[in-house]
Amino acid sequence: MEDGRVVAFEPYPPNVERLRHILQRNDAPREIESRALSDGEGERTFFVIGTDEAGSREGSIEDGYATTDDAVRTITVETTTADNAVTAGVHPPPNVVKIDVEGAAPAVLAGMEGTLARPDCRLLVVEPHDNEATIETVLEDASFRTRRLRVGGSNRVVAERAE
């Protein structure tokens, strides 16, 4: 039996390297995709907000969340969908999903409709950014029960597969 593994999608190159280092140091079974999850394949502008150093707390491909005026830097990043990663056999279907994508959660969820429909996908934790209602609606339409949780001063939407 597998003990599980982590598949991380991180489009910002300095964060990818930092994540690799942390996961290696902790000997965690892992795979890191240097792409952003979204609602389609292609390229998007990634807005680096606040600082461009590794570990930057904020960066987004959602132009409704961030703009060039907000960014200290912009880069072009590749995007993919969770559904494409799963159906192509690149990654196994997830059981637990954590989404923290600075305003782009609705697009990520749109790109994982098939994954959400799989019974083995049973728990999601999503960090919303003024889009809680949209996130809850998408997840409830996909047969999840949702609740809001406050963690360290930030909101989360927790969704569990409805039985």
pLDDT, one tens digit per residue, over 112-138 is 999 999 999 999 999 998 899 999 999
- Phi, psi for 135 (deg, rounded to 5): -60, -45
Architecture of domain 6-161: 3-Layer(aba) Sandwich (3.40)
pLDDT, one tens digit per residue, over 9-30 is 999 999 899 888 888 888 877 7
pLDDT at 1: 38
The residue among 159, 9, 31, 27 whose CA lies nearest residue 95 is 159
70/74 Cα distance (integer angstroms): 10
State yes or no: pLDDT of 5 exceeds 80.
Answer: no
pLDDT at 65: 80
pLDDT, one tens digit per residue, over 55-68 is 766 788 888 887 77
Q: Any idea which of 65-79, 82-96, 98-112, 147-161 has the lowest mean pLDDT?
A: 65-79
